[in-house]
Structure 1
Amino acid sequence: MWSLHHLHFMLYVALSCVTCTADVIQVFGYEGRDVSVSCPYGGGYEKHEKYLCRNECGSRDVLITTSQTNETKYSIYDDRRSRIFTTTISTSRFTDAGKYWCGVTRDLKDVYTEVRLKITPDSCCNSTTQIKADGEGSVSIRCPYESENEDSLKYICRGKQPSTCLQRALITSSRQSGRFSFTDDKKSRTFTITIYNLTLEDSGSYLCGVQSDSGLDDFSAVELEVKEWCCVIPKNMTGVVGQSVTVQCPYPPEDHNNRKFICKGNKHDCRDVMMMMMMMSQNRFMLHDESSSSFSVTITNLEASDTGTFWCRSDSEWRVGNYTQFHLSVVSPPLPETGAVFYVLLSTPAALLLIPVVVVLVMVCKHRCSKVKEPEVIVDRNNIEAENNHEQVYGNDGFLIMLQRNTKQQNPYQEEDESEADYENITRTLDP
């Protein structure tokens, strides 16, 4: 039977394949995955036997028929209502690529449809876009596509295997989902997937997919790294009330034309933006875009209430590298020391003119003070009690007066004159 079919096939190929359909069925598959070959047929052949064969479609080239049920690599199903029979090749390999024929058995001559199968690796891609983001924030993944796919289905999935990406899609252009949002800019031919409330588990590989009716879907690869906020080290800065402080805010080169801004808040979401806008309206905050890689923020006339955490950013989306976190502590100015005060006073031009006047006043005061006599001490002898040639006398001014009688040897022949008694070494001490 199959030798007769072989003869018919060779005859009809030589006659320009008069029994072949005009179109060639293009089938694409991924290595290691199942591949399905769908073959349509005309009305009236619903009950005829169908089969799939390779090469010249000889008896040994027939892979499976609708009457066979014991094949393991191939399976076949005939949908007579839609008049399409489908053959599935399980766990395809690169050696499975090539030319096939869909056959429908008829008397004398069968009907054949050519099939060309292409097997590609189940991986993607030649290049990968690296994206970094911070936990609790959001990230936008931008995916380009060709102009002919403007109205095609677009989607994103996790992993690196294109074969199952659509089945595992996190979000598509026709279906929204939870933490994911989809926007399509057809002018720039780019669709954007935004992921909110990022966690460390969101790190990994992603594929942007664009469905194609003519073959395999088009993909672009993205590698996302989510970083913990605990690992973000802020810059610690100290300012003085009434003075100014300046902080440098680096940013990636691609953000050069973006709007730069600053906000205040304990968390990166900057919920105190309105308060910051009020402070900026007081013209105390000045932003200067100094180069293509950084801008500076100067806060003038510092106040104690400026103490807190600030964030300067170069993009509306939170991404590692486009923001700077710094913690500002505003302290009161130190109290000046006495020596410092005199130094400041003497360092002024007006103080230099006062120096000669001060010198003259000091000399006059010294001259007058040298003419002042010490107060006279009056001692009442009747109140003196001598003890061991030492005496204690309390004067009217409340001072204790210590007197020591002269112990010099007296002339025994000279009469002692009390009126000429000699007292020496008079010492005053405070009355205890």
Structure 2
Amino acid sequence: MESWDVACVFQAQEVYQRYSKYWCRGQYDATCEKIVETKGEEKEERSGRVSIRDHADNLTFIVTMENLTADDAGSYWCRIQTVWLLDVWSHDPSFHVNVFVSTGSLSLTGPSSVTGTLGGSLCVQCWYKEVYQRYSKYWCRGQYDATCEKIVETKGEEKEERSGRVSIRDHADNLTFIVTMENLTADDAGSYWCRIQTVWLLDVWSHDPSFHVNVFVSTGSLSLTGPSSVTGTLGGSLCVQCWYKEVYQRYNKYWCRGQYDATCEKIVETKGEEKEERSGRVSIRDHADHLTFIVTMENLTADDAGSYWCRIQTVWLLDVWSYDPSFHVNVFVSTAPSKTTGRTTCQAVPAAFPGLNTNQNLSMEEPLTCCSGSLLSSVHFLLLVFLKLPLFLTLIGAVLWVNRPPRGCGGIKPKEDNPQCSAPFPGRPCPGT
């Protein structure tokens, strides 16, 4: 039983902000059968397994279909109610959506969509059940999973396999595999699948576990880049690192949430200084010397999953006409914690980022504060074993030596009425003996 979301956007059409929106099914928009409708308020409306919610501030509404069945596949429409009489003469704004239902598998899951920018890279992370730990995994492209064209495949080992600009690597200990697509072009956008090879013959009769991923490629902004997606676990933390060109070194940077960059809601912002700024569970810090800023989200909840943006404030008025450089980041929150607790995945500096000075000192001691835990802990362990422990034992020995009981000549403890003598020369007896 799976759920599916579709977001319909009426951006730059604020005239429809207060109108009712609805979801209908049919071959044509004018004759489609209404399923669920908003009531002009920002609250969820439900009809059976389908719900709708208007997010007027973001000029978007979202339809959710739950417990999908094969019969749910078909032709649907996002529509806006602009006339009182809904009939064949209605001119309600509409947008066509084809819904497909795959046999799929709850044995394999991942992000429903990822977004990258032209010339950039993106990562797709898919999780699987332990029973598939030693099977080969692969990435394929096509409208349907059973007939998709295989692009790259693991060989059952934890090493990277590559096919052109696409690579895959299985992390069996974490029950996850990661696909990376580099040097993105507009043609890379489309329908892809994470799959697990469970039969020797891959054809239309294959029952390989699969999960559908839509890949989008935006024109974006090469002035700012970062990870296309990041994943954290419930109750845990995650960090997002974005890089920018040197021209933006002294500008404020911020983190916002929303379907689109121009209308996203700002969460936290730097103040032009290299110090941490915080808003609730989210913090941001600019590392201007390294042309990067880091956003940290703590105590993650399921509601934290969604569409976010790294942005740079270049104009005083932030509105739909703002041209702040931006980079889209999908945040995912997993219910299953990783087996390797305490380990944080760090994003590497892009190999060919246009704003990076190759002569720059890329010391990771300060900028990657959210990713330095394992290194610092190992250094501390070495110091403990080879420096602190011997020093502590030496101090204990010195204290015991100083506080040893007094002894007389020849090692005999002096009596109360016989004061301790002091031999004038070492090795000679005391006077009078």
Q: With structure 2 as the length reference, what TM-score do the two structures score?
A: 0.32
Q: With structure 1 as the length reference, what TM-score do the two structures score?
A: 0.32
Structure showing greater Rg: 1
